Each structure stands twice: as structure tokens, then as C-alpha cells.
Structure 1
Amino acid sequence: MDRNLFEASLTGNVQVLNALLQEDDFILDRVSLTCFNETPLDIAAMRGHLDFVRILLSKKPSLAMSLDSQRRTALHLASAQGHVEIVRELLYVMGSEACGFRDQDGRTPLHLAAMNEQLEVIKVLIQTKPDFGREIQENGESILHTCISYNRFEALKLLSQLWNEDDLAKLTDGNGNTLLHRAVLQKQIQTVKYLLQKSSIKETGSVVNGHGLTALDVLDHRPRDLGTLEIQSVLMEANILRAKDVRPHSRPFQASIESKYSQNVTNPESKPRGCMSRLWNWYLNDNGNWLEKQRGILIVAGVVVVTGSFYTALHPPGGTFSDPNNGPLGNAVQTEVVMDNFSTFLIQNTIIMVLSMLILLVLLSGIPLRNKLCLWVLNLATLCIMIFVIITYLQEIAWMSPDTYINPTTMIMCLAWILLCLLFAFIHTIFFVIWAIKITWKSSRTTRNKNSVGL
């Protein structure tokens, strides 16, 4: 390319361009014979020189069809930069089919406009040829997947109007990821909330991708932080399930009903009967979603208990010495009265704080709360905290009262709560032990069966 023509393209100098055209009528014809990847039209389109582009298109319209080293046209470049008027000029010369030209990555001008969130250009392109916005790239992605990948929320909202709600729910990429999968994977809370406003996406939100994961399962593979917890809360409020909780849809609906009916007829004892049977069935099959939904609240409650225990340790009952004439500054008053009482209080308070931190550790670790071991640990830790809180409460009342007097009603209520907590701890432990024994027995039986088959 002539150097003067190149510099004129960079600056959009129309006077220099007209002078060059008058001096050499074939200057634009020789552009394709040079080693430059970009034509003067490409450079002017990127820079937004509208008048310069108009002259080039009027003198040599075929420049609009030229491809650079990445197989991009001037329309691609102008769309990426958001030069709306230049886009209109190029479309007038190239025709509406130019909206479907793809570069070496399979992206159309609309893709580049969406990736850079050039909303006015997007409007022009979809008005010219809306069908191209619904085309799928070679990698299986739709343009909406691209918007999510580049976190272009406004472009996503604008382009999603090209599909009806049912079609939006069916859009998947090459790995089977729906729009909701992709938004969760990118941890885009705003996009997740927007997609779940669509009834069809919300209804089909528990579908699995190519790896057999729902959107909620995908979240488990992301680093745990506040954003992850917020998205998890939003998904659970929308009743999005994990893959293992989704009913298989491989069999026809009627066939599954008939199969279930025949199973009940042939084996009438399979249905649990009685209170204990129903309770046992609940313990084995409960999916724990209710606890997952409350994870954030439980974390806040754990932090409050830990903070309260820390504060109580620094400000024990009876206070501390603030006057050196009465005792060592900062020492607890109880240490000068009955040291054993203070030591007991300190041990109980420490146990409460350590158990609360254990609960926080389990909640923040990302372990699924449907895990029976996890549930058992959380239940026992919580019940132990309640028991030690009640015991500490009774002791402090006794130490503050004359002759360690405690009102009988208060004593009865506190003891009743302690017994109730112990009862629940015993029940949960029994259920957990039975569950562990059954799992171990099934595992050993499966191993024996495999060995016998091998023999």
C-alpha cells in the first residue's frame, strides 16, 4: 500500500485521498497486490472516518469484500468499534448477506459487536438480518453463550429477544451447557437472576450438561466465596436441583407409572408403614436441600456465637478489675473469689466457641450438607453448644444468687431442655450408626459378589 494512502487512512484525511486519486487512478486497484493485511477501508472503518469510507466505497466498492489475515471484513472491524454510520454504509454496499460473513474463529460482525457490547451496532445488524443472530457457531455456541463468556449483560438482554422463551431454554454449547450453566460457571449473579426470570429456563434449570452436571453441580466446582454463596442461594430459591436429585427421564412417563404400580402390587411390603418406618425412610432419603438453602444463615449464626463467646471470655461475669487498689488490672473478679468457678466457666465458654468454629469450618468447606456424616457432625455440635449454654447459664445464676439459689421452675425448664437435646443427640447417633452399618454391609456384599463372579 502506498505510504501516503496508509497515513491518510489512519488520519481520515479526505483531501490527501482525493489528491492521491487524482494523481493515480489505479492506486486503489493495487491495494490487493501489496503485502499489507488491512486495506485503506479496513483502517478507516476501524478509526471511524465516515467521509473517508464513503469515498473509498464510491471509488472501489469491492474493497468492502476484502479479507484481512484473520478473514475479517471492514464490517467486522467497524462493528467491533461501534461505528454505526460506517456499518450502515458498508451494509448498503455489501448487502444484508454480509451480516453472515464469518472470520477464522467463526464469528460474524454481530458476534464482535456483542463481545464489545456495541448496542447500537447490534440493533442495526439484527434489524438487517435477524436470522443470522440465531445461527450457531462451529463450536456449538450461540451468540448468547458468547455474551455470557465476555460478561456482556446488556448485549445478552438485547439479543435474547431473537428467541422465544422455550428456545432460550434449549440453547446449549458443544459441551451441553445451557445459558444457565454458562452464567453459573462464570459466576455472573446478575445474568443468573435475569435468566431465572424466564419461566422456561427456570422450569428446565435442573437439566444436566454433557458432563452430567446441573447448574447447581457446576457451582460446587467453583472456588467458594460470597459470590458463590449468593448464586447458590438464588438457584435453590428457584428449586434448581443437583443431578443425583433429578428424576431420570429416559423412560416414558406412562411406562414409569406402570412399572411403579407393578412393583407395589408384587411387593406390597415395600411401602414403609408406621411412624418409625416413615422416620427411617426420611432419614435415608432426605436430600438436605432445606439445609443447603439455610447455609448462609447458619454461617451468620455461627459467627455470632463465636463472637459472643470471644466477647464473654474478655468480659466474664462479675467483670474485671479496673482499679489497681482492688486487684490486678484486667484480671477477672472471679479469680480472686473462687478460682475453680472461673476455670469452669472458661472451659465451658471455650467448648462453645470451638464447637461453633467447627460448624463454621464445615459450612465454609463446601462439603455438600446432604452428606450423612456432615449432618451428624452439625447436629451433634449444635446440640452440644445448646447443652453447654444452658449449663453455663445455670452456673452463672447460681454464682450470682445468695447461697447459690436457683428458682425451681428455672431449674426444671433448663434440665428439660438438656434432656431433650440429649435425646435428639442419641436419636441422630443411632440413625447414623445404622446407616453406616448398612452402607458398610452393602459395600462388602457387593465386593463379595464381584469376587464370586470373577471366580
Structure 2
Amino acid sequence: MNLTNIIYKLKLADEEENINLLYEVIQDNPSILEIIDSKQFVETPLHIAASRGQIQFANEIMNLKPSFASKLNPQGFSPIHLAMQENKNRMVLCFVNMNKDLVRVKGKGGLTPLHFASRNKGDVELLANFLSACPNSIEDLTVKGETALHIAVKNNNYEALELLICCLRRNITRGARELHYNVINLKDEADNTVLHILAQRNLEPQVLQTLGLLLKTKINLNAKNLENNTALDMALNEDIRRKLLSVGVKPGLRVRAAPTLAQRLKSNITIIDKVVIYIKSLRRDISEKQRNTWLIVATLVATSVYQSALNPPGGVYQVNANSGNGGKSVMPNSYFLPFSLVSMFAFLVSILAILLMTPSGLVLGGLVIGPVGWFSYSYLISMLYISPHSNIIFVIIIYVVGCVLSTVLVIPLYYV
């Protein structure tokens, strides 16, 4: 049997959903599926089964040749695209259950199944399944630079837009905060963000509700498109303008253009930049084993030095009615000053090491930096309290160390 007849018989097996006939074809030519797969754009048996909603036959083909699931036909569609076009939702969900990455398969125009579901108003439940299976699919772009959010608002599918926004806010995968900020502020080929497009909509019942939800995200209110217009400049309805003004957007505000990448790279390196670069390079170069070891050593040094403030060498004067030195160190001031300088330096270095070895960021960094900061300042207060003489030099030292500690605590939280 020649190849043409074999392919015809294979399509016949597909149309009749005859799995036994499929294996008869494979027996005639065991390489038939491999031959079909070798073509870059081809209509596979899986395309036919998907468009007809033939779930059992499609599952059999997927088991034999999983690569067919991401193969595009000459029209630029994968099997899951065809299933969506024919409203074969059970077929679509079977595809996703077998391989969640099929949500990100790009067809003609760069459209993924997620984009298709964002466009069609009746596919919100399917959209929810896609986002649940593959949350990061929300960052995929079409050839026009559109996200699923752009497509939803351009097709007046506000229910889908609300779902997309809520999923961005609920995403807890690694890097979700950065993903949220990047996706919500992405621009299409005209440099319009989702907010630009939504501001141009007619005032429908869901528009203000969706706009309010969007304004609670990290959307850039003053982003400009290619025509140098902000969302407020493009707002067609007075209610939408009032909504934008209520969140602090000022009319007629000339937003300073953001510096380009070349300008940022050529800008002068500040002291803060140097510190941040050094910290990042240090974190990158150390191994996990070194990190754990240094963290343990730094913690032991910090706690040991803190104990010296609670119980300095020689002890402290006892509180009694005839003495005003209760709680003060018995060490002479000439000895206490160098002792305090050395211990403060050791404490400062150990605190810095702890911060370098722990995660950065506003959430995880804040959980560490907050307690470490309180611990540090309680140490400084203790040292000031046990000082035998409240002289101006020691107060200045405490102040300087406090400023250094503040800088050390803030940099990892906001810059690194």
C-alpha cells in the first residue's frame, strides 16, 4: 500500500473514530506517524479528532505521538485551537489535563488558547481552568504585543478581564509579584496599557466595576502611549474621568518621560548603586553551604556581643538608695570606650552578614529586617544605658552607629 492510500486510511480511521483501524494502518507502515510529524505544518489525525470532539481517539493519538498536540496545521492552528473553535470544551480540558503547557501553544497571530478564551464571552470557566493549570500563561503575548487582558477589554469581555486581574493578584508562584507588575503594565503595539483601552470604553454597567478593580493593581496611572496620551487623556466618559481623578491622577500633568535603557546604563553610579552592585555580586558568588555557615557564625557573634551589653566585664553597679550609678558598668570610662567601640563594630558587621545571607524583598526581607532592626536598636540603647559616664563622645558614637545600621537595614529591603 502506497503512502497516499495509507494516509487516506488513517484519516478514515480518524473520521470513524476507529482505534482498531488506526492500528491496522500502523501495522501497514509503522513509521506513518513519524512521517506526518516530520512535516512542519500539517493536519494530523489529532487535528481531525480535536475538531470533532472525539476524546477517546484523540487520547490514543496523544499517547502514541504527544508532539502532535503542539503541531500547527497549514491554517496556523493546533488541535487545541480547533477544539476551542468548535466549542468542544471537554476535548480542550482533556488536552490540558494531559499537558498543561498546551495552554501556551501559539497559533496564527501568536494567539494561545488563553487568548482565545479571553476573547469569547462564554469561555470564562474554560479561562479559569487554563489559569489554574498554567498561571504563568498570562504573560504570553500575541504578535501585536497584546496580553490576554488587552484581548479581553478590546472584546468587551469584562468578566474575563476581572478574572485575569484577580488571578494576577492571587498568584503565589515564584516571582509572582514581578509577574503581576510586568503583565499589568505591558503595552500593545500602540503602547497602550489595559488602562488606556478601558478608559475608551462606553459606560457599561461592568466598566466602572472593572476599572475600580484595575486601579487596585500596580497599574501605572501615568503611562503614555505612542501619541503621548495617558489613560485620563483618552477617557471618553465623565464618570470614568472622575474615577481616574479620584485615585490621584492630575489633569494636564506632564509626565516626565522615563529614561531609556541606554540612559540608565550611562548614568553616573551613585554610592547606593555601588553598595547594591556589591551586595548582588556577593550573593551571587557564594554557595548555599557557605551561606548557611556564615549565617550561623554571624548569628552567634551578634548574640554573644549582645550579651556583653547585658553583662559587661566586671558587672554593673547595684541599685541602692545612696547611689545614682545603678545599672552602670563598673569599668572606668577609659576602658569602656574602646570596649564599646570594638563590640559595636563586631555587632554591626555580624548584622550586615545576617542581612546579606537572608532573602531580600519587601515581604521576605521585611520579615527579617524588622526584628533585626529592633534587636539592633535595643543593643544600642543597652550600651548607652550601661555607659559609666554620659559623655558627648559616646552619644555621638551611638548616633553614628545608629545611622549606619539604618542604612544597612534599608538598602537590602528596597534596592537589592
Normalised to the residue count of structure 1, the TM-score between the two structures is 0.44
RCO higher in structure (CA 8 A, sep ≥6): 2
Rg larger for? 1
